Copies of this chain bind each other. A is one copy, B any other.
Amino acid sequence: MKAQEDIIIAHNEKGAERFLGRIEGKEPVFICTIGNTETAKIPGISAAGKYPEITDYTPAADVELLFYGECKCIDGVPVTPDGIPTPALITRSALSLADIPVFAVSGGVRVKPLAPFIDLMGEPGEDIRTGRAVKNVEEIIRRAEVVGRNFSKTADYLVVGESIPGGTTTALGVLLAMGLDAEQKVSSSMPVNPHNLKTLVVEEGLRAAGVKAGDFKSDPIGAVASVGDPMMAAFSGLVIGAASRIPVLMAGGTQMTAILSIIRGLRREVLENVAIGTTRWIVQDESSDIRGIVSQIGDVPIIAANLNFSDSKIEGLRAYERGVVKEGVGAGGVSIAAFLKTDGRVSCKILLREIEENYRRMVG
């Protein structure tokens, strides 16, 4: 497989090879799952927006960027406080090079995309420090399942990604609530990972919910409802609905481990049909440990796109090499899907050229 030099196998090599063999040359559908959580507005938690309040717009703007190559609800594109652009730029570039179809599914957003999306009628999530983070979790999951099942009848495999600022903190919430050893292990969109702040926020949430770490070990719905976010509910339902029939590449970083844990609690058997697809920046990140969390959950393969922006002429892209952003909006998984769909005609190199072109056009 030509594409292989562009792909890193980071966990469960045999399973990963098997998974890659099943999706190589096949026709994927990409679904971008979105949500909001008030957790993102806690100062220092999220870099998925220039300042905390504007993170409300990030998921909607990301979806617009995926569909139209430009955002509609904001000027320019979502950026970190340092001006580094959203990974949706990578996703959009990979989707268009490989002509991969895209759909958006909302688990509950504060700002609706000015683009078509599948509404699961969920509400935006509360700050997890309330201990009552998400309403109607089961209903959102059930609706998402129906969507996943229907997509599984038309696509060869699904790539499912996410955009939700604050998502690694809510992921930590669900992981700890479900009794996993995840402290200091989740990733961050910031160059310096605010592990301690995240832990404090989660602990406050668990306290407010009247529980302690591990109390939701076999209750994923309770974990999400207390200290999770609406994106997770939508994402888990999509995977559960699709993966009994087709492979699902879960496109994201350490947030995917929270989804895995939810899925294991609801429909363990579908884990055999999933893999995590992420970026080199995640699997080589020294401030997080995706393998360490996944291996507590199951033998799910981790595959990473070997993206490397160090030689880019664009400073805003080279910044990715310093650990900013790292992943999001399915960037890693969609890159992998683009390599595999085109039998390597789309490579990391060609993808970077497209990203640079889009950067110049969208960010200037």
Contact = CB atoms under 8 A, between A and B. Distances in A.
Contact of A150 (B27, B101, B144): B101
Given A101-B153, A103-B118, A112-B121, 8 more contacts: A29-B154, A99-B153, A100-B153, A101-B150, A102-B150, A112-B119, A116-B120, A154-B155
A147 interface: yes
A19 interface: no
A136 to B, nearest CB: 11
17 contacts: A27-B153, A29-B154, A67-B146, A68-B146, A99-B153, A100-B153, A101-B154, A103-B150, A105-B116, A112-B119, A112-B121, A114-B121, A115-B143, A116-B120, A116-B146, A117-B119, A154-B155
Interface residues of A, number: 29
A101 B146 contact: no
B117 A151 contact: no
Interface of A: 27, 29, 67-68, 99-103, 105, 112, 114-121, 143-144, 146-147, 150-155
Contact of A118 (B29, B101, B116): B116
Nearest to A120: B116
Contacts of A117: 118-119
A239 to B, nearest CB: 15
Contacts of A152: 101
Contacts of A147: 116
A273 B155 CA distance: 22
A144 B116 contact: yes
Contacts of A151: 101
A98 B156 CA distance: 18
A112 B119 CA distance: 10
Contacts of A121: 112, 114
